Chain A
């Protein structure tokens, strides 16, 4: 591919921006982990922190715990997700639309809200006790342990696996299976030798997503881990940075290790997929397995059961708690008082909602504008600067959020920084943008890769300048992708917990920090009312955009018809 002439300046600008936003903080973080005194201007204590980690048994156990927990979560998510994907893609299960929706609900629910709801459900004197008249203590003990926390995390992420498996299974042509059956393979031999290997890349990719999410998730370990005596890396890093005595050296070296694990699992899963699965093929017609009434029942039992566990129970606990008037024996009285408190102008809760709204709108807009331009510049240039840009752009994709948050604190708190960004809300805005610009880049790239450069050349030949080409030709084509990116970014910012907790200036709240702190302080009903409000806002925004988009799609189809007709 040839690079477009004169992309040097925009390319330099993009590299510079990402350099300041991403590379500089991560560089500081890494340096600090290696030279604990570097911010004081000294190179003393080289590798001290890493040595300390290696010599402290708790630290080693912590790391082992984290890896084991993320691995277990991935395994459970596979067990839940792969059969769901198969049922959706390859059987005549009735009501697939509902099944798909039921997978989306847990994906849309912030994991820490699900975890909080589960605490309400399972704790002694909680809803579980009220419903059943006393949960078995064995079950409670099991829940507040390694596997219970694993279950909660897996329930909130198995949807990724199911959707990825479904997408791939619907593309594998039935010829592959026919050929195997004809040569004498039984159903399960065909499954094992043909379908599974072809499915492996999808399984690994979605598994990687779940693994990284679990490894770097802060919310679930923070609320459930401490109650389950299961210390995990992200929560540990958080406490090292935020509570006294602050140990930046240890925090940054644990962060660096976390990044290392993320990178290793990324490349490891790629290697596995290449080695054992895959191969290119053209999608083709696929076979659909007829389920008897018994299997239909079993299929729906599986999907429905997962829905009850992943969404039904936590949502019920969340909503009921948000409406509960007083706590005591039996069913509480229902009241709207907590919502009234939240929406009282000037109250802490109301301020938190407003802060979250403007921050999310601003972050999503900045992401979309900057991200689309960076993606465009990246795809239309070549050379080492482009490679640098590409590399920088992939960093936020793999670096855990908590690490980025720690890095930003270090970078903007450093003695040489002239502006006082730290301790303002703009620090948080910057963090949101750095963490979530990935979504815009992904969405834009997907469209840009399929877009012929000739479209732009055609405009340039007619005399359009580079800026005109971008705004008149490229942007309109990117619009659906950017809309989706904006929406995604808005929703994830609305619920972002760890960056908010770490970077929020004192006296300010976002919805997530509000939920977290109210829960920790024991005002559980208010926390759950806020959780409900957050989810309702996200859902409403999503619904509005979906309506508009289907409207837009119809208009587009009409326009196309006119051109062809």
Chain B
């Protein structure tokens, strides 16, 4: 009997090295059916390697990978299910459309492998090409398509076989910025509507936020944090998570008899955090997102805000508003959004609500 929350795919302690370089250092995660997991992390952290392991192009050195409860990769048991038996499909960064086949032939290939009849095939091809808005291009050769169109075909080819799991390795990174933005939205809709379970690799956080039902944040061969985009954004588990996603203020602090002392030099700024932080560790880093911080000229602050005073050192125009950098006592600089009328070099107020504060120990 299966429950709704029984995992579709589960990784336990996956390890992979290339020569002496340990690329995956024990990866664990579970993906529930229908979930869209985005593997997000900086370049070289092992995302592609993990994806290729899931696809079956690589074999793990240790750990195991289970799909619907049965092992598909488990070196300790000598199990490695070949990729063609896994029923997964993949969208490659460089499209990998076969140049000697037309668009329709490319899309029909997997269906042919599944043994579908000719009429079923052409029906399905038509259907998925319509889904990716490429119905008019069925008889074109891929080399006569733009990059964005090629990637649509590549997505159609993967979706056509109704895969158990769809793998996407930075599918948008070979496209230019504008196209990437358009296709990102379409892809999000497509994935949601088709309900296919997917693993999507990217190093672009906006793609991750748009596409993910859950984000797995990868760092140096491990999954650092996993959760819904909102969770990961609101409650980063580490300094890495806080800096990789969004723009944050990270202030070293220590606690002395109920006071928080910010900064790591001799002169520290004592702050009273109204009630929050009673359970915070004795020292570490205090994190406030930039958008929670506002910079004001005025002297009278609302009583529920934490208020620091300092000198505005820089003000940048961001397009829709201004960002200001304020140096408060103790040599700590905070960044936040500036209220109108802030002038560089003048004394200003920094405000943020207490519930925007997070405490990080590593």
Contacts and interface: CB of A to CB of B under 8 A. Distances in A.
Interface of A: 173, 175-176, 178-186, 189, 193-194, 197-198, 200, 276-282, 284
A181 B100 contact: no
B109 A279 contact: no
B83 A279 contact: no
Contact of A180 (B85, B100, B109, B114): B109
Contacts of B82: 181
A184 B110 contact: yes
Contact of B113 (A175, A183, A284): A183
Contacts of B89: 182-183
A278 B94 contact: no
23 contacts: A175-B96, A180-B98, A181-B82, A181-B83, A181-B84, A182-B83, A182-B86, A183-B84, A183-B89, A183-B161, A184-B85, A184-B110, A184-B114, A186-B84, A193-B109, A198-B98, A198-B100, A278-B99, A279-B100, A279-B142, A279-B143, A281-B99, A282-B94
A183 B112 CA distance: 9
A284 B95 CA distance: 12
Interface string B63-96: 0000000000000000000111111111010101
Nearest to A193: B109
A284 B94 contact: yes
Given A181-B83, A183-B89, A278-B100, A189 B94 contact: no
Contacts of A276: 100
Contacts of B109: 180, 183, 185, 193
B100 A277 contact: yes
Most chain A Cβ neighbours within 10 Å, of B83, B89, B98, B109 = B98
Interface of B: 55-57, 82-90, 92, 94, 96, 98-101, 109-110, 113-114, 141-143, 157, 161
A177 to B, nearest CB: 9
A456 B94 CA distance: 36
A277 B56 CA distance: 29
Contact of B92 (A175, A184, A198, A278): A175
Given A175-B92, A184-B85, A278-B99, 12 more contacts: A176-B96, A178-B90, A180-B113, A182-B83, A182-B88, A182-B89, A182-B90, A183-B84, A183-B109, A183-B113, A197-B98, A284-B94
Given A175-B92, A279-B141, A279-B143, A184 B99 contact: no
A181 B58 CA distance: 13
Contacts of B55: 178, 182
A523 B36 CA distance: 82
Contact of A279 (B87, B99, B113, B114): B99
A185 B82 CA distance: 11
A182 B165 CA distance: 11
A280 B88 contact: no
A281 B143 CA distance: 8
Contact of A183 (B100, B110, B141): B110
A198 B99 contact: yes
A181 B92 CA distance: 13
